[in-house]
Amino acid sequence: MKYTITLSCLLLVFSFGSAQNSMLGFSEKSASEQQAIEKAFEEKLNSSNIDNWMQKMAAEPHWVGTKFGEENAKWMQDQFKSWGYDAKIETYHILFPYPTERVLELTGPTPYKAKLTAVPVEGDPFTDQGDALLPSYNAFSTDGDVEGELVFVNYGIPKDYEELEKLGISVKGKIVIAKYQGSWRGIKPKLAAENGAIGCIIYSDPQDDGYGRGDVYPKGAFKNKTGVQRGSVMDMPTYPGDVLTPGYGATKDAKRLTKEEAPTITKIPVLPISYEDAQPLLEALDGPVAPESWRGGLPITYHIGPGKAKVHLKLKFDWKLVPAHNVIATMKGTEFPDQWVVRGNHHDAWVHGANDPVSGMVALMEEARAVGELAKKGQKPKRTLVYCAWDAEEPGLIGSTEWVEDHKKELQEKVVAYINTDGNGRGFLGVGGSHSLQAMVSEVAGAVKDPQTKVSVKERRIARNMVNGGDDSFELYALGSGSDYTPFIQHAGIASLNIGFGGENEGGEYHTIYDTYPHYKRFKDPEFAYGVALANTAGRITLRLANADIIPLDFTQWHKTVSGYLDEIMEETSKMRSSVEKHNKLIDRNAFSLALDPRENIKAPERKEPVPYLDFSPLQNVIGELKASIDTYNKLDLSSLPKAKKDKLNAMLMDAEHKLLSKKGLPRRPWFKHQIYAPGFYTGYGVKTLPGVREAIEQKNWSEAREQIKALSETLSNFNEHLKEIISTLK
């Protein structure tokens, strides 16, 4: 019995038909059994369940705290039970704001009162549910009643404020209007407030998310002029989850912060609007014409302001504790009941949420049903499976975060991996996650057929990468934030994955009243074939993790990736240095001043602080040491380990990802403990890899960069020590 652990071995194995049964973490015999299980599992998947359940769960709006949301949770609990799971509902009590007053008006020069309401459309009765639809707003905006001059700030991200600085425009005491996109929405009010603004409006520009992308709903899938993207603006890069209970579960009797103390509620009021409502506001602006890259798709000349255009923004919310119902369905493992594979998707939506989250939720359910059927026939998983349906993901990953915080110790002891899904559609497989899982995911992706082309989903994905100029390889992307994997990986250090299909399911329904079953059926995954493909992919991964003889982690790929991140940071630092040198050379030549149009009131840029040389050697050294350890580990013969050693090995493998946490967490946001992946402090969802070091450098905080190089080296050294312990245990 020979276990294949390294990627290079895998590649070799893939080349020979004779070694078909090779499967990472499985003996040849176990691999045969597992293939049979997966085949049986796949055959049980049924697209009409996915279709029917979507119609049921997306029939009414079901944001956290709604009756329909609770009904969905109970119904799912019953379903899980009927499939043989031990299913319960775990409820947390979380702060959730409901909008009671929303006023946005242009008070001058030409008055305009924003409608703030999307229109029902023909052929989609779900859009005609009137007051049952949640009014469009940004959750965790603070209450406010402000009036001021309007300033257009493009996407409202850091480089936009640098541009405003050049133009000599301040947003202090002003209300900003920013386009959606360019960052996670919550960054916009955060930066606006940091820059002194008193209010923030976010709108969907038709170029990014409307007729500029394709025909609008109901003719096509894209956002019509009245559609508004709801969404949370909680400061999740600081910490996600209930704003009143940072770091611990929002149980009934938990000690809570007051709302006023909660650091993750915005400092200024913020409201999302449609492009129909945005146009009169933008049209009223004077001041300089916006830079070319700032201009959107409205038929106007985009100006920045400030000036005559004044707006009044008034927002009031009903802040109350609402119950968030997580459904937790467990199937005990036959061999390793205390080793859990956790699989989750959220069930709450902003409105009907046919795509987000129901398309992923019902695929998870179909997966769980098929697994349950196998179990009923005796093919039970060796490790415990925990299927979860999270509530309150939309307002800030709250259901999952509270559960992880509440059960953190137990989860860190028991969970092998967490596998997340969310909205899903037609197209290409995309998987993000811990890179020690990449080799296993790649094997599974090679075994799942694409419903449209009949090649493997891996091959189709690679084909697309190559057409887009990429490599002939299947890789996991690094996880930032934006769905329920965040508390698992970034707070608890549990190896995690996020899986979905997409790329042929475009649309503008995200977080609007148009994310309905008719829209999904027409534009996302008409035959629910990709719902089945998702259940197939995630289910096989879940079952492999559950049944593997040895937990299928591969550190060769992990090392290559992390080492690549370091190279990237060092290269970026060099580029930054050359760029500053070049910039200062131009200052010496007076070139910026001479190149400016004297009639435009633009400030020539100033001399920049030179970028120092940083000592990256501690990281380079530990990366080298890790390579040596991993090479040694890869050479070990794991094929004939006695059970005790195998158990010990598995326990230590389960512990590996935890070693990538630091106790202190990241600067200014200690909740985020993972040292390899984090959402960016100024990007929101977008990942920053090796975040402590990378963000310090990006922010030109050189002393912090030096500290973080030290901290990261220590974390990686701990990880290396752990690997060395594994090796010495096995020898």
Burial annotation 127-162 (CB, 10 A radius, 16+ → b, else e): bebeeebbebbbbbbbbbebebbbbbbbbbbbebbe
Give the active site residue among 617, 639, 721, 725: 617
In the complex, minimum distance from the CB of residue 600 to a second copy, in angstroms, rounded to a whole number: 9
Stretch that binds a second copy, among 1-9, 366-374, 465-473, 651-659 (CB under 8 A): 465-473
Give the active site residue among 163, 393, 405, 695: 393
Considering the complex, state which of residue 462 and residue 562 has its C-beta at the smaller distance from a second copy: 462
Query: Which pair of tokens denotes residue 34?
Result: 């597992």
How does strand 86-108 pair with strand 112-113? antiparallel
Stretch that binds a second copy, among 2-10, 150-158, 456-464, 556-564 (CB under 8 A): 456-464
- Select from 8, 48, 100, 590 the one that contacts a second copy (CB under 8 A): 590
In the complex, minimum distance from the CB of residue 496 to a second copy, in angstroms, rounded to a whole number: 28
Considering the complex, state which of residue 503 and residue 618 has its C-beta at the smaller distance from a second copy: 503
Considering the complex, state which of residue 165 and residue 459 has its C-beta at the smaller distance from a second copy: 459
Distance CA 609, CA 411 (A): 46
Q: Report the alpha-carbon angle 436-440-441, nearest 5.
A: 95
H/E run at residue 430:
strand 427-433
Interacting positions 423-442 with a second copy (CB under 8 A)? 427
- Select from 40, 257, 289, 576 the one that contacts a second copy (CB under 8 A): 289
How does strand 415-421 pair with strand 270-273? unpaired
In the complex, minimum distance from the CB of residue 527 to a second copy, in angstroms, rounded to a whole number: 11
- Select from 320, 589, 603, 635 the one that contacts a second copy (CB under 8 A): 589
Tell whether residue 574 is a contact of a second copy (CB under 8 A): no
- Select from 61, 206, 231, 508 the one that contacts a second copy (CB under 8 A): 206
Considering the complex, state which of residue 71 and residue 504 has its C-beta at the smaller distance from a second copy: 504
User: Cβ–Cβ contacts within 10 Å for residue 588, how many?
Assistant: 9
Tell whether residue 609 is a contact of a second copy (CB under 8 A): no
Tell whether residue 460 is a contact of a second copy (CB under 8 A): yes
In the complex, minimum distance from the CB of residue 170 to a second copy, in angstroms, rounded to a whole number: 23
Tell whether residue 606 is a contact of a second copy (CB under 8 A): no
The position carrying tokens 């019509």 is: 224
Tell whether residue 462 is a contact of a second copy (CB under 8 A): yes
- Select from 594, 607, 610, 617 the one that contacts a second copy (CB under 8 A): 594
Are residues 284 and 306 in contact, defined by beta-carbon separation less than 8 angstroms? Answer: no
Binding mask 210-229 vs a second copy (x if CB under 8 A, - otherwise)?
-xxxxxx---x-x-------
In the complex, minimum distance from the CB of residue 304 to a second copy, in angstroms, rounded to a whole number: 13
Distance CA 281, CA 424 (A): 35
User: Cβ–Cβ contacts within 10 Å for residue 289, how many?
Assistant: 14
Considering the complex, state which of residue 308 and residue 407 has its C-beta at the smaller distance from a second copy: 308
Stretch that binds a second copy, among 17-25, 244-252, 289-297, 322-330 (CB under 8 A): 289-297
Are residues 391 and 73 in contact, defined by beta-carbon separation less than 8 angstroms? Answer: yes
In the complex, minimum distance from the CB of residue 579 to a second copy, in angstroms, rounded to a whole number: 11
In the complex, minimum distance from the CB of residue 22 to a second copy, in angstroms, rounded to a whole number: 23
Stretch that binds a second copy, among 17-25, 54-62, 339-347, 464-472 (CB under 8 A): 464-472
In the annotation, is 674 catalytic? yes
Tell whether residue 167 is a contact of a second copy (CB under 8 A): no
Stretch that binds a second copy, among 88-96, 384-392, 459-467, 490-498 (CB under 8 A): 459-467
Considering the complex, state which of residue 170 and residue 452 has its C-beta at the smaller distance from a second copy: 452
Considering the complex, state which of residue 135 and residue 502 has its C-beta at the smaller distance from a second copy: 502
Tell whether residue 529 is a contact of a second copy (CB under 8 A): no
* φ, ψ dihedrals at 555, nearest 5°: -90, -15
In the complex, minimum distance from the CB of residue 428 to a second copy, in angstroms, rounded to a whole number: 8
Q: Report the alpha-carbon angle 167-170-176, nearest 5.
A: 110
Per the rule left: phi > 0, alpha: psi between -120 and 50, beta: everything else, 690 is: left
Tell whether residue 299 is a contact of a second copy (CB under 8 A): yes
Distance CA 311, CA 264 (A): 26
Tell whether residue 297 is a contact of a second copy (CB under 8 A): yes
Considering the complex, state which of residue 185 and residue 524 has its C-beta at the smaller distance from a second copy: 524
Tell whether residue 300 is a contact of a second copy (CB under 8 A): yes
H/E run at residue 710:
helix 702-730
Strands (E), 109-242: 112-113, 138-139, 144-152, 175-179, 199-203, 231-232
Burial annotation 675-711 (CB, 10 A radius, 16+ → b, else e): bbbbbbbbbbbbbbbbbbbbbbbbeeeeebbbebbeb
Tell whether residue 588 is a contact of a second copy (CB under 8 A): no
H/E run at residue 324:
strand 310-331
Distance CA 67, CA 30 (A): 46
Query: Which pair of tokens denotes residue 528?
Result: 């629910």
In the complex, minimum distance from the CB of residue 568 to a second copy, in angstroms, rounded to a whole number: 23
718-724: long-range contacts, CB 8 A cutoff, minimum separation 24: 718/659, 719/626, 719/656, 719/659, 719/660, 720/622, 720/625, 720/626, 720/629, 721/659, 722/652, 722/655, 722/656, 722/659, 723/555, 723/626, 723/629, 723/630, 723/633, 723/656, 724/629
The partner residues of 456 in beta bridges, in order of sequence, read: 449
Considering the complex, state which of residue 297 and residue 618 has its C-beta at the smaller distance from a second copy: 297
- Select from 316, 464, 627, 724 the one that contacts a second copy (CB under 8 A): 464
In the annotation, is 617 catalytic? yes
Residue 663 burial (C-beta neighbours within 10 Å; 0-12, 13-18, 19+): exposed
Distance CA 322, CA 336 (A): 36
In the complex, minimum distance from the CB of residue 207 to a second copy, in angstroms, rounded to a whole number: 8
SS (H, E, C) 4-37: CCCHHHHHHHHHCHHHCCCCCCCCHHHHHHHHHH
Tell whether residue 514 is a contact of a second copy (CB under 8 A): no
Number of residues near a second copy (by CB under 8 A): 41
* φ, ψ dihedrals at 323, nearest 5°: -80, 135
Burial annotation 36-47 (CB, 10 A radius, 16+ → b, else e): ebbeebbebbbb
- Select from 298, 623, 676, 716 the one that contacts a second copy (CB under 8 A): 298
- Select from 258, 467, 642, 703 the one that contacts a second copy (CB under 8 A): 467
In the complex, minimum distance from the CB of residue 231 to a second copy, in angstroms, rounded to a whole number: 25
Stretch that binds a second copy, among 543-551, 596-604, 617-625, 674-682 (CB under 8 A): 596-604
Give the active site residue among 435, 519, 674, 722: 674
Tell whether residue 110 is a contact of a second copy (CB under 8 A): no
Considering the complex, state which of residue 586 and residue 730 has its C-beta at the smaller distance from a second copy: 586
The position carrying tokens 């402590």 is: 692
Tell whether residue 598 is a contact of a second copy (CB under 8 A): yes
In the annotation, is 442 catalytic? no
Query: Looking at residue 141, what DSSP letter applies?
Result: P
Distance CA 55, CA 65 (A): 20
Distance CA 393, CA 346 (A): 6
Distance CA 108, CA 110 (A): 5
- Active-site residue numbers? 393, 617, 674
Binding site for a second copy (CB under 8 A): 206, 211-216, 220, 222, 289, 295, 297-301, 427, 452-453, 455, 459-460, 462-464, 466-468, 472, 504, 586, 589-595, 597-599
